Amino acid sequence: MTRAYNFNPGPAVLPLSVLERVRDEMVDFRGCGMSILEVSHRGPEYMEVYKKTIDLYREVFGVPKEFHVLFLGGGASTQFFHVPWNLLGPGKKVSFLHTGHWSKLAMKEAKRFGEVVIAASSEAENYTRLPRKDEIKIDPKSTYVHLVSNNTIFGTQWQAFPDCAGLPVVADMSSDIMSRRIDFGKFDLIFAGAQKNLGPAGLTVVFIKDSLLKLCNPEVPTMVSYKTHIDGESAYNTPPVFAVYVNCLVLEWIKAQGGMEAVEKANNKKAGMVYEVMDSLPKFYKGTVVDPGSRSKMNIPIRLPSEDLEKKFLKEAEAKKFIGLKGHRSVGGIRVSIYNAFPLEGVEKLVKFMREFAKANS
Ligand SMILES: *Cc1c(COP(=O)(O)O)cnc(C)c1O
């Protein structure tokens, strides 16, 4: 068996030990005579997985008691309308930190439910950096602030989260959830599609602070209401059982790595190695992010001296089983996505290749 080095931006690499465990438990899940794909979402097998997953979120990620943990469907993109449908309405507004593709799509949906104030934007610079503190003008009359913690396509990531005028903060953490420790005191709702750092596609994890429910509109459709899913323990309708199960195994894997501190350290090391090559060969590997303080540790977009060299790079990379390095069409070039489960050894091989390729083609 040869596993590829999977740099895909999402769905993305999963820990090999998790995949092997899924394989081993597939046909007869823990002695119940059925696979997890076949059991009832109200039966004891899934109930145990559900409870354990929540316990692990609290233990490993430090999700406080005042946050509900929800397992929903529809992807992060569904939260783009769930959030404003619950929190906005006539006369209400939301302040957006507009930092890329995903905040743009979220704003498009929020506009259907209230007024969108762009509190800061880096669109004019094609999102090559995050807004500076002095550029952020949050409207204090906003019901909440929306931000994206890591901009998957443009490769920027808030290293320190901005001050949000004491307003409730909603964060889309789809592409860096659990890549580092966070202060839950700064957030009121966090959502993430699972397919980058948590497990397979089909699951959206939502952490919602109990106090935010007071601001939620009780008249929204049943499936849109956070209260429905809190009261129904994320099983008002059939939840993405298999994805929650794999998510549970990923959390166990994070715990076994040494928890968030160890994962954060590993991510700093991996990203540091790639940035080191870029910084030592700045004429050859040009990061598209202009401000070092905005650099992402999850997604690193890089341009080479020409498009021909970029094509050649990708071709040679593929021959080495480095998969998924092609940059997003709006940025071009290459993008190195190194989520939690991407092995250090793969980054070592990539940076070696990057040095050799630059030498051979300069
Ligand atoms: C991938 C991604 C999304 C979209 O997630 P889906 O689950 O496909 O809807 C949203 N926001 C960010 C930051 C992402 O990286």
10 Cβ below 6 A of ligand 1: yes
Q: Determine how many CB atoms are found less than 10 A away from the CB of residue 297.
A: 23
Average pLDDT (1-29) is: 96
* Rounded distance from Cα 283 to ligand 1 centre (Å): 32
Give the 3-state DSSP-derived string for 137-162, with helices as H, strands as E and coil as C: CCCCCCCEEEEECEECCCCEECCCCC
Mutate to test the pocket of ligand 1, among 79, 105, 152, 335 (most ligand atoms within 8 A of CB): 152
Pairing of β 5-6 and β 322-323: parallel
Catalytic residues, by residue number, are 102, 172, 196
**Residue 212: what pLDDT?**
98
Peptide bond into 11 cis (omega under 30): yes
**pLDDT over 80 at 121, yes or no:** yes
Domain parsing of the chain, residue ranges: 17-256, 259-361
76 Cβ below 6 A of ligand 1: yes
For 303-336, give the DSSP string.
Answer: E-SSHHHHHHHHHHHHHTTEES-BPPTTT-SEEE
* Rounded distance from Cα 47 to ligand 1 centre (Å): 27
3-state secondary structure of 120: strand
CATH fold label, 17-256: Aspartate Aminotransferase; domain 2 (3.40.640)
Strand order in the sheet with 334-337: 286-287, 299-303, 334-337
**Residue 174: what pLDDT?**
98
**pLDDT over 90 at 138, yes or no:** yes
Taking the C-alpha atoms of residue 213 and residue 217, their distance in angstroms, rounded to an integer, is: 8
9 Cβ below 6 A of ligand 1: no
Taking the C-alpha atoms of residue 295 and residue 299, their distance in angstroms, rounded to an integer, is: 9
pLDDT tens string 219-271? 999 999 999 999 999 999 999 999 999 999 999 999 999 999 999 999 999 99
pLDDT tens string 310-362? 999 999 999 999 999 999 999 999 999 999 999 999 999 999 999 999 999 99
CATH of 259-361, one of 3.40.50.300, 3.90.1150.10, 3.40.30.20, 3.20.20.140: 3.90.1150.10
pLDDT tens string 172-192? 999 999 999 999 999 999 999
Taking the C-alpha atoms of residue 272 and residue 278, their distance in angstroms, rounded to an integer, is: 10
199 Cβ below 6 A of ligand 1: no
**Residue 327: what pLDDT?**
97
Q: What is the pTM of this model?
A: 0.98
Of all residues in the chain, what percent carry a pLDDT higher than 90?
99
Q: How confident is the model at residue 1 (pLDDT cuts 50, 70, 90)?
A: confident
